[in-house]
Each structure stands twice: as structure tokens, then as C-alpha cells.
Amino acid sequence: MGQKLVSVPECHSTNTLLAELLQRHELPEGTAVVTPHQTAGRGQRGNTWTSQPGKNLTVSFLLFPTFAEAARAFEITQMASLAVLDTVSAYVPGARVKWPNDILVGARKMAGILIENQVQGAFLSQAIVGIGLNVNQTDFALPTATSLAREINQAVALQTLWEELAANLERRYIGWRERKSRLDQAYLAQLYWRGEWHTFQTREGKMEGMIEGVDSHGRLCVRTAQGVRFFSLQEIQYLA
């Protein structure tokens, strides 16, 4: 991961730039695009990802998971989430994965992941894994955000963190490719709010439920008084 590195001082989105480069050039697997300043970073649900220039890590990696059926696409989310969690946990114990792929410390978000897949036939052909990790930024517009520096009260070297993230992603990816690791078990063990009763917002209104896990399609499994329900990304929000 990252042996071919494209570093730019500024870009709209590392995911978008990597996709544009791939249209014009033949790039090897593991190619990474990194920038200290995204002007139009993207997140899940069409949200934006804002970041102070030069303070954080914003990077996208190119993968060719042609060994995996399209039905296993959520495993990329699990793999990438665990790689980012590995990186964060070396500095801040107790971090968790909030479904599907946010990294939280306590109830505050430290990192987000945006994965864009392409499918050819019944198999995955390409995946761009975009990662935004709050590192040295300490002031945020939202009270629900945090960073490594904020949690440990000291700055973190971005180059060191980049190397650790690339190594963790490579290790998790190889383990997944060679089926040497059970992503589902490792992911569930780190899942935020799993096994706890909480309040959620659904299209029908507020709901009390307990997260039990995630099915093979990546849907969140929540036990309610009426039984287990399954939710896709746009269908449920965490409240309290």
C-alpha cells in the first residue's frame, strides 16, 4: 500500500482525483493519493468531510479485489474499518467502529471512510478506499468530532501515522484476500453500541433497540420489542 504515492498540495477529493487518474493511467494496486487539503471531501450519505489544511490525514487507496464476489462488498468496509481502528487504537485505547465505518472515541468521531466499488459480472473489479482521519486539528465546528491530538494532548507526526495506516491496511487486506482472518468476528467485536439498548430514529419514528450485528449485505441488525429488524444506511440514525 502506497508504494506508488501521488501527493498533491490540494485537491477537491482524493477519491475523485484517484478515479480521474485511473481513467488516464494504468495504476498498480495499492496506489495512494494523499493531500493536506481537501476542498470538497466527501463522506457517507452525501455528507461533506471538512478538515483544516495541513492538520489531518486525507488519503485514498486503490484496490483490485477481483477475488471477491460482488455480494461480499461489505467485507471491504469491514477490512478498511479495522485497519483504521488498528491505527487509532495504537494511540487511543477504547476506540470503536460505528456502523458502517466511522471510528469513534467515546461518542466523538475521529475518522470516516468512503468506499466506492466497481463490479464486473459477479465479482468486484475495483475499490477506492478514502480515509479521513482527524490528527492534529483541535477545534471543530461540531461537538461530536475529535482528533488524536485532542485525545492524547500532543501532536502526532503525519508521516509516521501515514506509514502506520498504510501498513495496517495492507496487513488487513492481505489477511482478507488469503482468508486468514475472520473479518465478521473482528468487526462485530469492535462494533459501537452492540449488545446495548439505545434509541434510534427510523422512518417510522423513534425506536428502542439493541444492535446485534450486521448481515452479509451490510445491513444493521437491531433487536426490538417486535423482533429483529434490518436497516440499510439511509434507514436508521443513532440518537442516544
Distance, CA of 70 to CA of 38 (rounded, Å): 30
Model confidence over 81-99: pLDDT tens digits? 999 999 999 999 999 999 9
In angstroms, the CA 219 to CA 71 distance is: 12
* Confidence band, pLDDT 50/70/90 cuts, at residue 42: low
Name the CATH topology of 197-238: SH3 type barrels. (2.30.30)
pLDDT digits (tens, 9 = 90+) for 214-236: 998 999 999 999 999 999 999 99
- Give the model confidence (pLDDT) of 186-217 as tens digits: 999 999 999 999 999 999 999 999 999 999 89
Q: Where in the chain is the domain with CATH 2.30.30.100?
A: 197-238
Rounded to two decimals, the pTM is 0.94
CA separation (Å) from 16 to 5, 34, 141, 238? 15, 12, 25, 29
With a cut of 90, say whether residue 117 has pLDDT above it. Answer: yes
Q: What residue spans in the chain does CATH classification 3.30.930.10 cover?
A: 5-189
CATH superfamily for 5-189 is Bira Bifunctional Protein; Domain 2 (3.30.930.10)
Lowest mean pLDDT among 135-149, 158-172, 176-190: 176-190
